[in-house]
Homo-oligomer: A and B are copies of this chain.
Amino acid sequence: MGLIVQKFGGTSVGSVERIQHVANLIKQEVDNGNKLVVVVSAMGKSTDQLVDMARQITKRPSPREMDMLLTTGEQVSIALLSMALHELGLEAVSLTGWQAGIHTEDVHQNARILDIEKQNVLGYVEEGKVVVVAGFQGITADGQITTLGRGGSDTTAVALAAALGADRCDIYTDVTGVFTADPRIVPAAAQLKQISYDEMLELANLGAGVLHPRAVECAKNYQVKLMVRSSFEAVEGTEVKEEAVMETGKVVHGVAHDDQVTKVTVKGLKNEIGVLSRLFNLLAEYHINVDIIINQNIQGEEQTNISFSLDTDDLDKALQVLDDHKAQLNYEDIVYERDMAKVSIVGAGMISNPGVAAQMFQSLAEAGIEIKMVSTSEIKVSCVVPHKDMVKAVQTLHAAFGLDRVADKVSATN
């Protein structure tokens, strides 16, 4: 029939039994007459074990050596999964990132894929083999082993699907699909049948965690049809594509949250042209991802303050970089607030519905939740709130925008 790329995450291949189960899922698609390219992550806790050994040796492991260390995790997975496929009578061959032609930037621990030399994968596919590719990893032009950073296996799968012109890319994970909110936080959350790339991108960026944003971006750019589904339960997943048919009359389709947010404020910067670019170019140089940026620049004033939010994991690095470049940036002081969270509402219908943001602010205010920062795009509104209020904020918004009722409807049709 067609060519399908499947991706199985760490929990999906977390044990020998899970690997055997995944082999059976693959066999079903092969028996349906499809050609398969399978991308796998490292087995469940194996990455943690490797990181733990490194930490016993050094507090600041070299990024290059961390990539050398961690890429062994997927290599173990691809070998074992290929063996499990052989055991089911399928022809299968495993390929590391470099063998699969995954070329990346010359950056360790957070490289982006530059291009895919697909001949090797394609050659095996044409021989009728299931090709099992190590996710999360690639190679630089001068032969260094790199990793793609968090969620990198999703990106490997989508990039391969794009390069190979696959008919579909299935992202197998430990949830059954994309929900209107995290079901662990909002029990009334319902699974969506379809969602658009743009909305998924906002949800991914907002910490919904099901799919890595880079992967969604790549899928949108190359119009790769994604299917998010569970490797644990045989239920229908959520389709991610350009034009998704959503519930009519709903402006907001999902509420997302991100619980690892820190707000940093750089105080007493000289108010001059180029101050923003200098600061954020510097942070970008050190691969620190900044999310929301606020700079209420009042013309005529000599000094200005710039606030931004970032992943709390990056805080130490950011503070170090800012401190190392204090003279160059010419600021007075840095303050930061940890223990923040970001809650967001997402919906393609927002563009033509003014007042959605105002309704969000009002709902949060009525619930007594303080808003620390705000960020908006055409299809989402995000608020940074105290971490202690995150769950209440998500539940409040899920109800306020009528998503609890969507949940009832969907579960009634199941």
Contact = CB atoms under 8 A, between A and B. Distances in A.
Given A16-B56, A72-B76, 19 more contacts: A53-B80, A54-B79, A54-B80, A57-B83, A57-B84, A57-B87, A62-B82, A65-B79, A65-B94, A66-B79, A68-B94, A68-B96, A69-B75, A69-B76, A69-B80, A71-B75, A75-B75, A96-B145, A120-B143
A65 B53 contact: no
A50 B72 CA distance: 12
Contact of A83 (B61, B120, B145): B61
A352 B61 CA distance: 59
A69 B93 CA distance: 12
A54 B94 CA distance: 14
A188 B16 CA distance: 48
Main DSSP-derived SS at the A contact region? helix
A120 to B, nearest CB: 7
Which 8 residue pairs across A and B have the least CB separation, nearest first? A69-B79, A72-B72, A68-B79, A16-B56, A58-B87, A65-B79, A57-B83, A72-B75
Contact of A80 (B57, B83, B99): B57
Contacts of A372: none
A8 B83 CA distance: 30
Contact of A58 (B73, B86, B96, B143): B86
A336 to B, nearest CB: 29
A66 B143 CA distance: 23
A50 B58 CA distance: 25
A56 B76 CA distance: 14
Interface of A: 16, 19-20, 50, 53-54, 56-58, 61-62, 64-66, 68-69, 71-73, 75-76, 78-80, 82-84, 86-87, 93-94, 96, 99, 120, 143, 145
A116 to B, nearest CB: 15
A48 to B, nearest CB: 14
12 contacts: A16-B53, A58-B83, A58-B87, A61-B86, A65-B80, A65-B82, A65-B94, A66-B79, A72-B75, A75-B75, A96-B145, A99-B145
A50 B76 contact: yes
Contacts of A19: 57
B84 A58 contact: yes
Given A64-B93, A69-B79, A75-B71, A99 B20 contact: no
Given A19-B57, A57-B19, A78 B68 contact: yes
Contacts of A73: 72
A93 B78 CA distance: 26
A72 B145 CA distance: 13
A305 to B, nearest CB: 38
Contact of A57 (B20, B65, B145): B20
A154 to B, nearest CB: 22
B62 A68 contact: no
Contacts of A72: 72-73, 75-76, 79
